[in-house]
Homo-oligomer: A and B are copies of this chain.
């Protein structure tokens, strides 16, 4: 069989870019993106992407150049997921809620040649550019105006911008012939991590990886033809877990929106017949504490990840008619690669038990080769007992190419033993399901015991007055560290707010002594990243500044 090698006819690169042309053929007359009063069809989206890709090429962008986008979930953002790589460039989405300094660091690090700027982020990007060192080559700028004619002053931008997004569409060639990447390992995506634990790192994914995660995500979530997908997950967050390409593969409808709250979501679900949406647990919380809660007429599939959803939040969400699926992934895996695949027999369990099982991250999805929890030092698998903590490791096509300009960082997590080390701490249950307990950096070491801040948080979430909770380490002269809880309360006029002591007593009844918070701090709101993750490093700073939780007996 040795003579049988790959040949040109069977080794064309795996890439999701071809899904768009196919969608235009099959679903040409059906809606692709809906945004306020604007609706495009798949034919139009295909044509617009070809036009934008041709205009990007005309601006001098070459294969391998980085093109950045600073925009919310509007149709242009969706289209750029195809148009930028169709022009041969690498798509770099930038979180719109970053500060100008961070944006300038990312633009410099990525050597971005062209930046698509939503009009609401104009001053952010212009300020970021003003912070670049004098001799840095400035990227070209294109302004994304609002297609619905939302109030905006684009005249003052003429000096800074080489055109608007719509002018690129108009000038572009709808017959543009884009080339497949020369290799499926060619970079396609550059995403900077959200920076919950450390300085941003540039995660690079290739066409092959994005293809694998996209098909993987459709199968794992059971997405069939023509879903109606509500874009509550920012596309600038790990490319919306690859669903921009996935929704094209199944010819769905992308319901776009700039920003949202509970009532907006319920209204869009009703208006468009939404079938699917994604979001961090904070979105679930938003739904269940919305002032205009509505029970759904038809079930809506909601996929959550990014943090273990507290059981109480899961229960409240499902009681409204949402079907919650839970998964796990990292920026470094381009999307969700572990999913809490549901066993039919679990439907017979009590609600609280169902929620406990659903809060586990689960098993590898079919695009991932291997998943394990190991002792970080020895590399040996931990016991599958549901309690021995270890580092979550994985391997397979979804794992990134590496960190941009950081060979050391890349080698540190992508080891020669063929595992990618996630930096997440978890346990493997006897039934083979993974449960994340914490980020490595969020583990609290108190009196020599490793304790999971997430476990303490999940107890806090069961307190009826608690809205959100986060637990971090506070330095302690005797114990080393002790758990410090930051808590925001529900706005309910009728009941008296609990005291710090009452919160601690509540925990003491449900947790071993060493896990009970020694400090409780009430806050109106907890600091969060743009994707709704609580910024523990901010809280850790506050806890550190509070000094030792007990006075040393020495």
Cα A6 to Cα B401 with chains together (Å): 6
Task: Let me know if A83 is at the binding interface, CB within 8 A.
Answer: no
A225 to chain B, nearest CB (A): 6
Task: Let me know if A513 is at the binding interface, CB within 8 A.
Answer: no
Asked whether, in the complex, the Cβ of A8 is within 8 Å of the Cβ of B416, the reply is yes
Interface residues on A, range: 35 or more
Cα A14 to Cα B226 with chains together (Å): 28
User: Of all chain B residues, which has the CB nearest A419?
Assistant: B9
Cross-chain contact of A8 among B10, B11, B14, B418 (Cβ < 8 A)? B418
Which chain B residues border A25 with CB–CB below 8 Å? Answer: 363, 431-433
Asked whether, in the complex, the Cβ of A420 is within 8 Å of the Cβ of B9, the reply is yes
Given known contacts A9-B395, A415-B9, A416-B8, A26 and B363 CB-to-CB distance under 8 angstroms = yes
Cross-chain contact of A26 among B30, B206, B343, B414 (Cβ < 8 A)? B343
Asked whether, in the complex, the Cβ of B22 is within 8 Å of the Cβ of A366, the reply is yes
User: Of all chain B residues, which has the CB nearest A24?
Assistant: B432
Asked whether, in the complex, the Cβ of B366 is within 8 Å of the Cβ of A19, the reply is yes
Task: Let me know if A12 is at the binding interface, CB within 8 A.
Answer: yes
Which chain B residues border A219 with CB–CB below 8 Å? Answer: 215, 218-219, 249-250
Which chain B residues border A433 with CB–CB below 8 Å? Answer: 25
Asked whether, in the complex, the Cβ of A402 is within 8 Å of the Cβ of B12, the reply is no
| 415-448 of chain A: CB within 8 A of chain B | 415-420, 431-433
Which chain B residues border A416 with CB–CB below 8 Å? Answer: 8
Asked whether, in the complex, the Cβ of A10 is within 8 Å of the Cβ of B395, the reply is yes
User: Of all chain B residues, which has the CB nearest A396?
Assistant: B12
Which chain B residues border A432 with CB–CB below 8 Å? Answer: 25
A120 to chain B, nearest CB (A): 30
Asked whether, in the complex, the Cβ of A10 is within 8 Å of the Cβ of B396, the reply is yes
Asked whether, in the complex, the Cβ of A363 is within 8 Å of the Cβ of B22, the reply is yes
A8 to chain B, nearest CB (A): 4
Asked whether, in the complex, the Cβ of A185 is within 8 Å of the Cβ of B404, the reply is no
Cα A276 to Cα B106 with chains together (Å): 50
Cα A9 to Cα B400 with chains together (Å): 9
Cα A516 to Cα B344 with chains together (Å): 57
List 25 contacting pairs A-B, 8 Å CB cutoff, sorted by A: A4-B206, A5-B401, A7-B414, A8-B414, A8-B416, A8-B417, A9-B415, A10-B395, A10-B397, A10-B398, A10-B420, A18-B366, A18-B370, A22-B363, A22-B366, A26-B363, A27-B343, A29-B345, A30-B344, A215-B216, A215-B219, A215-B367, A219-B249, A219-B250, A249-B366
- In the complex, given contacts A22-B363, A25-B431, A225-B341, what are 7 additional A-B residue pairs having Cβ atoms less than 8 angstroms apart? A1-B404, A4-B204, A7-B401, A11-B397, A13-B369, A26-B363, A218-B219
